[in-house]
Every structure is written in C-alpha cells, then in structure tokens.
C-alpha cells in the first residue's frame, strides 16, 4: 500500500519545477514559422501565452485537459512514459522543450536527429521569469511581463513573518524545504517555512521527511496541506498526533491544490496558489 502511494507521489513530483540548458541545432528561427512541442504542462502554458500558433504538441497532463485552449493540440506523452518520438517527429517541430532529469534521454535523441531542444528546471519565480523571457525571445514575440501575468505572486504585501509547514503526504510525512518550487514561493511571501533548512534524504529532491515528534515539538502556527489525486483531509487527520497540534486546535489549516504550489503546472494554478498564500 505504501509503495503504491509512493509510486503515485513520484509521478506527481517528477517535474520540480532555473532555466538550465539550450542545445543549439538550428542557427536561426524565422518569425511565425517556429513549431514548438512542449513536454511539460508549464512550458505548454507559457508557449500558449506567448504565441499560441507556435504550439504543436503537448503532454497528456490533467491540468491541460481542463483548458479548452489545448483541445485541438496533439498529445505526445502520458504520465511517466517516455514521449512518443515518432509522433513528435511527425509534427516537424523546430524546438522541443522538456524537463531536466526526466526528459534528458528523449531530448538527446531528438537533438541527434537535428531538432533543437531546451531542457528546463524551475525552482523559483526568477527561474520562471528567465525562461519566459527566453521563450519570448526565441519566438520573436512581444508579450506582457511575467509580473503582469502573475500579479498576485509579486504582491508588495508580503511582510508576513508567520511560521508554517507544508504537508504533501501523511505516510510518509513529506514536506518541501528551501530547494523546492514550493519552498521558494513560500519564502517569497516572507513566511518562515519550519522545514526550510532540513536536509534529510528522500527520493524526492527538495522534499524531506518529518516525524510526528518533530511536528509536536515545532508546533507550526499554520499548516498547509496539499490535495493530491485520490487524497483528502482524512489522510492528514490519520496522523496520530494531529489533534495535538496548535494549528489544528486554532483552525489554521489551509488546503492547497497540488498544481500551483507543489508543481508549478500552469499560470492560472500559480496565480491561485499566490492568492491563497496572500490570504493567510
């Protein structure tokens, strides 16, 4: 049972979301002729925002399936399965964008076949802004700034000085530290993430295991719990010390969607997470 849950969680955390690497194959792209295949929901959303007509292939992500903008765009990958390279090649892309660490092999193969590739890993708003500007430059398109698009994430009202802990799962009790997208987003709002400096090793980069004893000792003022597919509040209430936590007694429990806070996922999801962080 535990292994099944960890396998599902591994799928969810596979795209921790810094612009890292560009493999240059085609020397120049011509305006309005750039065909882009995005292998993550976030980069698909960014391309759609910058130049909708350029996006010719997307991942089979649940967050994209809820957006009608992507209804007619071919899906080239699904879950943890490698992207369908034949399908990608049939779309004749000029650029394929993937996630560093997860799509390395596929991007390398495409690169060897003469397709320009971009490998990305987004861990904070600065990384996202750099990627956004880079994509706009490649597509030779003038667009709104990321700050205009993600206004709620750049709020000036961020002098919170409150402490909190984020719980992603209950068995094990996983929480993001400073090396994650969630940890950095929370830090940008001036919250004190009590798990920020913890560095115990887990199979998920940027996430640490917490013990019930640690939670009791730390007594966070606020607890953010994450809704993942197939889970609800009952998984957290099953933690044996749950009702002994001051945040629980004081009704300072805040529920967040997985997309936006844990996996950046897309622009609307990020904005929603920022709006909710502002309200704490």
Sequence ranges of the domains in the chain: 9-149, 154-278
Stretch 213-218: mean pLDDT = 97
Question: Would you call the peptide bond into 224 cis, given omega within 30 degrees of 0 as the criterion?
Answer: no
Question: What local confidence, expressed as pLDDT, does residue 27 receive?
Answer: 37
Mean pLDDT in the chain?
Answer: 88
For 141, list phi and psi in degrees, rounded to 5: -125, 135
Query: Would the CA dihedral through 268, 118, 186, 198 be positive or negative?
Result: positive
CATH 3.40.50.1980 describes domain 154-278: yes
Between 233 and 36, where is the model more confident? Answer: 36
Stretch 182-187: mean pLDDT = 95
For 71, list phi and psi in degrees, rounded to 5: -55, -40
Token pair for 8: 């599902």
Read off the pLDDT of residues 206-215 as tens digits, 9 standing for 90 and up: 999 999 999 9
Quick check: 224 and 166 in contact, CB under 8 A? yes
Residue 172 zone, left/alpha/beta (φ > 0; ψ -120 to 50; rest) = beta
The three-state secondary structure class of 276 is: helix
Residue with tokens 């964008």: 97
Residue 231 predicted with pLDDT over 80: no
Token pair for 79: 């879950």
**Cα–Cα dist 226/1, whole Å:** 20
- The CATH number of domain 9-149, selected from 3.90.1660.10, 3.40.50.1980, 3.90.1210.10, 3.60.70.12: 3.40.50.1980
Place 252 in a pLDDT band, splitting at 50, 70 and 90. very high
Between 67 and 201, where is the model more confident? Answer: 67
**CATH topology agreement for domains 9-149 and 154-278:** yes
Stretch 36-49: mean pLDDT = 97
Question: What local confidence, expressed as pLDDT, does residue 24 receive?
Answer: 40
Read off the pLDDT of residues 45-71 as tens digits, 9 standing for 90 and up: 999 999 999 999 999 999 999 899 999
Token pair for 201: 């090793």
Pairing assessment for the beta strands 169-170 and 173-176 based on DSSP bridges: antiparallel
């Amino acid at each position: 049972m535990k292994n099944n849950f960890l396998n599902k969680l591994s799928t969810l955390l596979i795209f921790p979301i810094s612009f890292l690497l560009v493999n240059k194959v085609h020397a120049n792209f011509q305006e309005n002729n750039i065909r882009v295949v995005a292998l993550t929901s976030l980069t698909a959303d960014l391309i759609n925002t910058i130049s909708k007509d350029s996006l010719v292939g997307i991942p089979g992500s649940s967050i994209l399936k809820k957006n009608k903008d992507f209804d007619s765009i071919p899906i080239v990958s699904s879950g943890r399965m490698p992207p369908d390279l034949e399908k990608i090649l049939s779309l004749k892309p000029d650029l394929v964008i993937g996630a560093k660490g997860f799509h390395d092999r596929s991007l390398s193969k495409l690169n060897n076949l003469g397709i320009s590739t971009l490998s990305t890993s987004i861990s904070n708003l600065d990384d996202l802004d750099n990627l956004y500007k880079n994509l706009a430059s490649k597509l030779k398109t003038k667009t709104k700034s990321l700050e205009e698009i993600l206004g709620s994430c750049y709020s000036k009202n961020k002098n919170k000085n409150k402490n909190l802990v984020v719980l992603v799962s209950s068995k094990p009790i996983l929480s993001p530290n400073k090396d994650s997208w969630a940890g950095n987003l929370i830090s940008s709002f001036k919250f004190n993430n009590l798990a920020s400096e913890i560095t115990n090793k887990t199979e998920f980069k940027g996430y640490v295991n917490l013990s019930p004893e640690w939670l009791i000792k730390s007594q966070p003022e606020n607890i953010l719990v994450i809704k993942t597919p197939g889970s609800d509040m009952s998984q957290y209430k099953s933690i044996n010390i749950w009702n002994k936590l001051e945040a629980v007694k004081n009704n300072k429990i805040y529920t967040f969607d997985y997309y936006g806070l844990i996996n950046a996922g897309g622009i609307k999801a990020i904005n929603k997470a920022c709006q909710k962080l502002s309200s704490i």
